[in-house]
Amino acid sequence: MKQYRAGFPEGFLWGGAVAANQCEGAYNVDGKGLSTADMVPFRPDKVAANIADMDASYDEIIRFMDPNCKENLPKRRGCDFYHHYKEDIKMFAEMGFGIFRTSIAWSRIYPTGFETEPNEKGLQFYDDLFDECLKYNIQPLVSLSHYEMPIEITLRNNGWESRETIDLFVKFAKTCFERYKDKVKYWIPFNEINMVRTSVYVGGGCLLEKSMLDLQTLRYQLTHHQMVASALCVKLCHEIIPDAMIGCMIARLETYPATCNPIDVAKAMEENQMNLFYLDIAARGEYPGYLIRFLHDNNIQLDIREEDDEILKNGKVDFVSFSYYMSYLASYESGKSKNSGNLVESEVNPYLEVSAWKWPVDPVGLRITLNTLYDRYQLPIFVLENGLGAVDEISEDGKIHDDYRIDYLRRHIMEMKKAVQDGVDLLGYTTWGPIDIVSQGTCQMKKRYGFIYVDMDDYGNGTYGRIKKDSFYWYKMVIESNGEDLK
């Protein structure tokens, strides 16, 4: 019989997570090509209405590719991590990070995606970054695709709509595996692979206006190509880096029935299935029956090749991982008030408070999610994103007193600890945005997640100086105590 575990295991990996397109900047430095993320402007009118607009149209892309374009494109500057990474990693080490999750910008390695040889200066940047992490005994965890691809792949292939993009991605992945095999032991092919449910542009590098498919079919075709690419990457990683672990990640949409009415319970079950099928395919190596029924009932005809079944079976992941920010409600009754979320709208849960961005705050849901996923897959789990976006102000004493962030994280870590006590095999926890970065959904800097404040605004004004928030010292204490001291 397994022994009861009272707290986080020895060697538990505490850390933080960022994305290249939201933090690096230096969009035209050292041979980097333009990416899909470089084409999304700051839209103050949408932000004022609490609307996340993450897409770009074909006409906008052509306009923004003009070197003389003056549009405010925040992800081209990020928080200038590209030039500050040594300073930033040193502060992560001061907090005690054992793991740092980041992504490799595809267009920094293959500027258009179609080159036969990689960009050496791009490869060297990540060599230097990973070396800096390892200097402090911080393990890198790398996402190969985090909401960006070379824009040329979008323009020529319409992103993941084309089967050719699989080969381009596997070429990129192989280059990364071979180059960093001695430095990176944790990998994820795709960040939040279920993003295509919300945005085919962000999640799939695809322009709906350029596709011959209807939106629903397009979403699942993009997903299929990504799942095949993911499985091929898993197999390749196992061959090139036998001591590495490679997993799959979703944005977890833990969904409750709005009432105990059986039709609401069934609705919640269906919503959860449509969130989990990505992990089902990656962890089990085949399409689940309920998804096959969904495709049949909705007359969705996918281009699936005969060899794809074997590819999925041979590319099963070593761990599952997810981002967790909120929970959702499902109801068959329409017309109820809604809360917007990071992926989908949801009925309002009267038992939960909401953040400044109207995201429901549900720490208990994290424990539920951890138990659900571990029961389902019996694989190790990473919590790879969790955090509170808030407006942080510098006080008269020159400090940032973010007690609200500490409270949010404390409550989630407490529930995570309960899940470990429940028997969940939890490998690590990386909070989202340990340093302030550009928001994915709104391209703001005003919406901040970090333990480290970056002095810049939504228009790139500021010194880009770094200031430690109160939460910096709190998280340092949490890590030093391995999650026991949460005061």
Write out the two tokens for 310.
């074997």
Distance from C-alpha of 227 to C-alpha of 190, rounded to nearest angstrom: 9
Q: Is the dihedral of CA 419, 420, 426, 428 positive or negative?
A: positive
Question: What's the burial of 455, exposed, middle or buried (CB within 10 Å: 0-12/13-18/19+)?
Answer: middle
CA distances (Å), origin 143, targets 84, 189, 295, 384:
20, 6, 29, 11
Distance from C-alpha of 466 to C-alpha of 333, rounded to nearest angstrom: 48
- Per-residue DSSP letter, 319: E
Q: Which is the catalytic residue, given 192, 254, 347, 415?
A: 192
Distance from C-alpha of 9 to C-alpha of 427, rounded to nearest angstrom: 9
Strands 466-468 and 139-145: unpaired
Distance from C-alpha of 143 to C-alpha of 480, rounded to nearest angstrom: 27
Q: Which is the catalytic residue, given 24, 271, 385, 415?
A: 385
385 as an active site residue: the answer is yes
Distance from C-alpha of 460 to C-alpha of 443, rounded to nearest angstrom: 11
DSSP 3-state of 2: coil
Write out the two tokens for 49.
């209405």
Distance from C-alpha of 171 to C-alpha of 416, rounded to nearest angstrom: 37
Distance from C-alpha of 341 to C-alpha of 32, rounded to nearest angstrom: 32
* Range 39-61 burial, b when 16+ CB lie within 10 A, else e: bbbbbeeebeeeebbbbbeeeeb
Distance from C-alpha of 180 to C-alpha of 446, rounded to nearest angstrom: 35
Distance from C-alpha of 26 to C-alpha of 119, rounded to nearest angstrom: 15
Amino acid at 8: F
Q: List all residues 6 or more positions away from 86 whose beta carbon is below 8 Å from its beta carbon.
A: 132
Residue pair 424/9 in contact by the 8 Å Cβ criterion: no
Helix (H) or strand (E) holding 204: helix 200-204
192 as an active site residue: the answer is yes
Distance from C-alpha of 362 to C-alpha of 466, rounded to nearest angstrom: 30
C-beta atoms surrounding 484 within 10 Å:
12
Residue pair 31/122 in contact by the 8 Å Cβ criterion: yes
Q: Which residues are catalytically annotated?
A: 192, 385
